[in-house]
Amino acid sequence: MTAVPGPDHRKLPRRRGEVLSRAIFDAVLAEIAESGYSALTMDRVAERAHASKASLYRRWPGRAALVLDAAYEAMPGPDTVPNTGSLRLDTLTVMRQGARLLEGIVGQAMRGVLGEALQNPDVAAEVREFARGNASRMMHEILANAVDRGECDPDLVTDFRIEAGPALLRQRFIFGSGPIDDDFLVAVVDQVVLPLFGVHRPQGTGSAV
Amino acid sequence: MTAVPGPDHRKLPRRRGEVLSRAIFDAVLAEIAESGYSALTMDRVAERAHASKASLYRRWPGRAALVLDAAYEAMPGPDTVPNTGSLRLDTLTVMRQGARLLEGIVGQAMRGVLGEALQNPDVAAEVREFARGNASRMMHEILANAVDRGECDPDLVTDFRIEAGPALLRQRFIFGSGPIDDDFLVAVVDQVVLPLFGVHRPQGTGSAV
DNA sequence: CGAGGTAGAGAACTGCTAGTTCTCTACAAG
DNA sequence: CTTGTAGAGAACTAGCAGTTCTCTACCTCG
């Protein structure tokens, strides 16, 4: 309406499709890394990415979906499932990978999105659609290997037992404050996960690692 | 500024202190029960309680603190810890109490507050200040009784093992969608909690009770 | 190569909510 | 009766989500 084209930066080379999306993801992650999830606004992302808000909303229905995609983008590829020949070490490795992921930017993004999911059922559905138990899949595979080795009775492998370790880790992530230290992970594995699968003492190695 | 006193309802009997606070809590809970946490605004609470927003902000620093207090108010008194003579039944009882609590208004309030806590460290601190592991305390007591009865080896009673059951319940609450059915609770108790404390099969009663 | 459609940049705008502040007034205490 | 405290109600500020508008670059198709 008000006729004020003025300097008009709209003549710069203009990005499209993939390239633009990537730039927007980068802006989201940078904002989160710099100021945290709660300071992340669509305006700031748009400005930082030198994109228009309309471009954002053409691609994602809202903030949660955007951040969810950005987090997914930032995730390392499907981690190769460890297979060291020891259930204990395999489990510990998965837990450590998970903890490292949660402590990074992806974790911060997840925290924020989860926060919204708790308040908004639509977002919750988006998240569920998405978080198809990555950790659980890896645990399943590890357990299958342990059964093959004869290290674990197959009757003990149930979804609830498999979830116990990851659930403790997530609870720590959600309710705890400081960083997740390794002692925690070791304790969860030795006191909860292994006993649940019939392995009552650290066997191969005598100490941590 | 604008001189429009008009009808002015400000002559009604005016509540103070305790009475007013209680009325505000009631309004908060009613709003949550009726429209959910996300539709809860300070304006609506104030209007519903026939209180002024200033009165709200004089008492609580923000929405989260208000809802947290209201939820605390609505909580049933410290549940008497069950002592049935069977670890299985005691545990199941605690889990059922917890599940029932989470499915009510208090649960909805918690969900909302937790959602904010995940996005705002200050709120997170308020919540931690507050949620001094109620479930854990009950579980501790139950386990102590089981040890006294000789049903459980005292060496097995550690914080991590104690947290396993509650953690699975909370995870279900946070990530799951529908109601928490009893089969879930029974499975958690029989497949996770009891094995962790050395009780490998349902003993007293044969079925779910 | 030129026309037309698609989509991006940037800005203005709407609507809602948190939180603040102002005025007026009830109520309690001295 | 005087005075201080606090509640009621409303106006106001500021910030953000989401929408819409204009202008224009770039791609595609004829």
List per-residue pLDDT tens for chain B, 209 residues long: 333 333 444 556 777 777 788 999 999 999 999 999 999 999 999 999 999 999 999 999 999 999 999 998 888 777 789 999 999 999 999 999 999 999 999 999 999 999 999 998 888 887 876 766 678 889 999 999 999 999 999 999 999 999 999 999 999 999 998 899 999 999 999 999 999 999 865 544 444 44
Is residue B91 domain-shared with residue B191, that is, in the same domain? yes
- Which of A50, A74, A98 is the C-terminal boundary of a domain? A74
Q: Is residue A40 part of a domain?
A: yes
Asked if A121 contacts A169 with a C-beta cutoff of 8 angstroms, the reply is no
Is residue B130 domain-shared with residue B51, that is, in the same domain? no
Whether A2 shows a pLDDT value over 60: the answer reads: no
Gap from B144 CA to C3 C1', Å: 84
CATH number of the domain enclosing A56: 1.10.10.60
Please name the member of A112, A164, A175 whose beta carbon is closest to the beta carbon of B164: A164
Q: Is residue A41 part of a domain?
A: yes
A95-138 per-position pLDDT tens digit? 999 999 999 999 999 999 999 999 988 888 888 877 666 888 89
d(CA A103, CA B188) in angstroms, rounded, equals: 28
Report protein residues in contact with nucleic acid strand D, where contact means CB under 7 Å: A 1, 3, 5, 8, 10-11, 13-14, 16, 39-43, 52-54, 57, 62-63; B 1-2, 4, 8-10, 12, 14-17, 20, 50-55, 58
CB-CB under 8 Å, B158 with A38:
no
Q: Is residue B127 part of a domain?
A: yes
The region that residue A72 occupies, defined by phi over 0 for left and psi between -120 and 50 for alpha, beta otherwise, is: alpha
Is residue A97 domain-shared with residue A132, that is, in the same domain? yes
* Residue in chain A lying closest to B174 (CA): A118
- Domains in chain B: how many in total? 2
Q: Is residue A175 part of a domain?
A: yes
Is residue B184 domain-shared with residue B104, that is, in the same domain? yes
DSSP A7: T
Q: Is residue B27 part of a domain?
A: yes
Is residue A171 domain-shared with residue A114, that is, in the same domain? yes
pLDDT-based confidence at A207, cuts 50/70/90?
A: very low
pLDDT reported for residue A42: 96
Q: Which domain holds residue A150?
A: 87-196
CB-CB under 8 Å, B119 with A37:
yes
Six-digit token string for B162: 């104690």
CATH number of the domain enclosing B142: 1.10.357.10
- Which of A44, A74, A104 is the C-terminal boundary of a domain? A74
Q: Is residue B202 part of a domain?
A: no
pLDDT reported for residue B127: 83
pLDDT-based confidence at A11, cuts 50/70/90?
A: low
Asked if B142 contacts B103 with a C-beta cutoff of 8 angstroms, the reply is no
Tokens 């997740």 — which residue? Answer: A180
Is residue B53 domain-shared with residue B127, that is, in the same domain? no
Amino acid at B40: L
CB-CB under 8 Å, B111 with A115:
no
Read off φ and ψ for residue A92, nearest 5 degrees.
-60, -40
CB-CB under 8 Å, B118 with A115:
yes
Q: Is residue B81 part of a domain?
A: no
Q: Which of B36, B35, B34, B43 is nearest to B63 (CA)?
A: B43
Q: Shortest CA–C1' contact from B16: which nucleotide?
A: D7
Q: Is residue A203 part of a domain?
A: no
Q: Shortest CA–C1' contact from A8: which nucleotide?
A: C10
d(CA B152, CA B143) in angstroms, rounded, equals: 8
Is residue A41 domain-shared with residue A128, that is, in the same domain? no
Six-digit token string for B190: 């029989």
Whether A205 shows a pLDDT value over 60: the answer reads: no
Is residue A132 domain-shared with residue A172, that is, in the same domain? yes
Gap from B61 CA to D3 C1', Å: 29
Residue A47, Cβ density class (10 Å: 0-12 exposed, 13-18 middle, ≥19 buried):
middle
Residue nearest D15, CA–C1′ metric = A41
CA distances to A179, A201, B5, B169 from A173, rounded to whole Å, are: 9, 26, 53, 16
**Between B70 and A203, the higher pLDDT residue:** B70
